[in-house]
Amino acid sequence: MRKGLLCLVAALLGCLLAVGALADTVVIDNQNAAGGNKRLNLRTEPDTKSGTLGMLYDGAQAERLGETGEWSQISFGGQTGYVLTQYLITPEEAQAKGLAEGGAAKADVPLPMETLTLYSAPGSDADKAVAELPSGTELRILAFLDPWVYVKTQSEPVVEGYANSLYVCEAGAQQYVYVCAADPDKLASLRANPTETSKVVGSYYNGVQGVRLFSFQRDGWVRMRIGTVEGWMAAQDVADAPADRRELPYYPPIASISARRTELRAANSNSSDELLVCEAGESVEVLGKSEGGNWLHVRVYDGNPYGLTGLTGYVKAASVGRLESNSDGLYGVYAVVASTGEHTNLEPIFAEADASSEELGLYYQGVEVELLDLTLTAFAHVRAGGLEGYMQKTDITLRRGSVQEGDASTLPQAQVNAPNGITMRAQPEADALVTAAIEDGQTVSVLGVLGAWCCVRFDEKTGFVPRAQLTGDLAGYARTTEPQLALRVSPSTGANVIVRIPQGRRVLIVETDGQWKYVEYEGQFGYVMENYLDPVY
Round to the nearest angstrom and report the end-to-end CA distance of the chain.
97
Peptide bond between residue 110 and the one before it cis (omega within 30 degrees of 0): no
Domain end point (choices 97, 127, 144): 97
Task: List 519's β-bridge partners, or say none.
Answer: 509, 526
Q: Does a structural domain hold residue 324? A: no
Q: Does a structural domain hold residue 134? A: yes
SS3 239: strand
Which pLDDT score is estimated for 72?
Answer: 94
- Same domain (yes/no): 348, 417: no
- Same domain (yes/no): 480, 503: yes
Going residue by residue through the chain, which has 537 residues, state the pLDDT in tens, using 9 for 90 and above. Answer: 455 544 444 444 444 444 444 568 999 998 655 444 567 889 999 998 888 888 899 999 999 999 999 999 999 999 999 999 999 999 999 999 888 888 888 887 776 777 899 999 988 888 889 999 988 888 999 998 877 889 999 888 899 999 988 788 777 665 778 899 877 778 999 999 889 999 999 999 988 888 887 755 667 898 888 888 889 999 999 988 776 566 677 778 888 889 888 999 988 999 998 988 888 888 788 999 998 889 999 988 665 544 555 678 999 999 998 887 766 555 444 455 655 555 567 788 999 888 888 888 888 887 878 777 666 667 888 888 778 888 887 787 765 444 444 455 578 889 999 999 999 998 888 998 899 999 999 999 988 888 788 899 898 888 999 988 988 877 778 889 999 999 999 999 999 999 999 998 888 887 788 889 888 888 788 999 988 988 776
- Same domain (yes/no): 180, 209: yes
DSSP conformation class of 8 = H
Q: Does a structural domain hold residue 329? A: no
What lies within 8 Å, CB to CB, of 11 at 6+ separation is: none
Which pLDDT score is estimated for 163?
Answer: 92
Dist. CA 321–CA 329, nearest whole Å: 20
- Same domain (yes/no): 139, 180: no
Which pLDDT score is estimated for 327?
Answer: 61
- Same domain (yes/no): 56, 91: yes
- Same domain (yes/no): 46, 90: yes
Dist. CA 268–CA 218, nearest whole Å: 27
| Phi and psi torsions of 395, nearest 5° | -100, 0
- Same domain (yes/no): 238, 275: no
What lies within 8 Å, CB to CB, of 435 at 6+ separation is: 424, 425, 426, 461, 463
Residue among 278, 286, 273, 281 nearest 261 (CA): 278
| Phi and psi torsions of 442, nearest 5° | -75, 155
DSSP conformation class of 199 = P
- Same domain (yes/no): 132, 180: no
Q: Does a structural domain hold residue 111? A: yes
Dist. CA 123–CA 117, nearest whole Å: 11
Q: Does a structural domain hold residue 1? A: no
Apex CA 283: angle with CA 247 and CA 318, to 5°?
A: 115
Which pLDDT score is estimated for 332?
Answer: 40
Dist. CA 103–CA 31, nearest whole Å: 13
Peptide bond between residue 112 and the one before it cis (omega within 30 degrees of 0): yes
Which segments of 39-176 does DSSP mark as H helices, in order? 91-97
Task: List 144's β-bridge partners, or say none.
Answer: 55, 149
- Same domain (yes/no): 422, 487: no
For residue 82, the domain's CATH number is 2.30.30.40
Dist. CA 382–CA 500, nearest whole Å: 37
- Same domain (yes/no): 300, 358: no
- Same domain (yes/no): 314, 338: no
Which pLDDT score is estimated for 174?
Answer: 59
Dist. CA 88–CA 62, nearest whole Å: 9
Name the domain count of the chain: 7
Q: Does a structural domain hold residue 53? A: yes
Evaluate whether 221 touches 237 at the Cβ level (below 8 Å): no
Dist. CA 444–CA 126, nearest whole Å: 59
Which pLDDT score is estimated for 412?
Answer: 83
* β-strand pairing of 254-256 with 283-289: antiparallel
What lies within 8 Å, CB to CB, of 38 at 6+ separation is: 30, 31, 57, 58, 103
Q: Does a structural domain hold residue 276? A: yes
Which pLDDT score is estimated for 513?
Answer: 83
**Residue positions counted in the chain:** 537
Evaluate whether 463 touches 386 at the Cβ level (below 8 Å): yes
Q: Does a structural domain hold residue 396? A: yes
Q: What is the pTM of this model?
A: 0.56
Domain end point (choices 212, 229, 247): 247
- Same domain (yes/no): 109, 160: yes
Which string of DSSP letters, residue by residue, matches 311-331?
A: EEEEEEGGGB---B--TTSSS
What are the CA-CA distances from residue 176 to residues 179, 199, 212, 375 (Å)?
10, 24, 6, 10
Which pLDDT score is estimated for 333?
Answer: 40
Cα diameter, the chain: 119
Domain end point (choices 319, 352, 367): 319
Where in the sequence is the domain holding 295, given as residue range(s)? 254-319
Which pLDDT score is estimated for 19?
Answer: 43
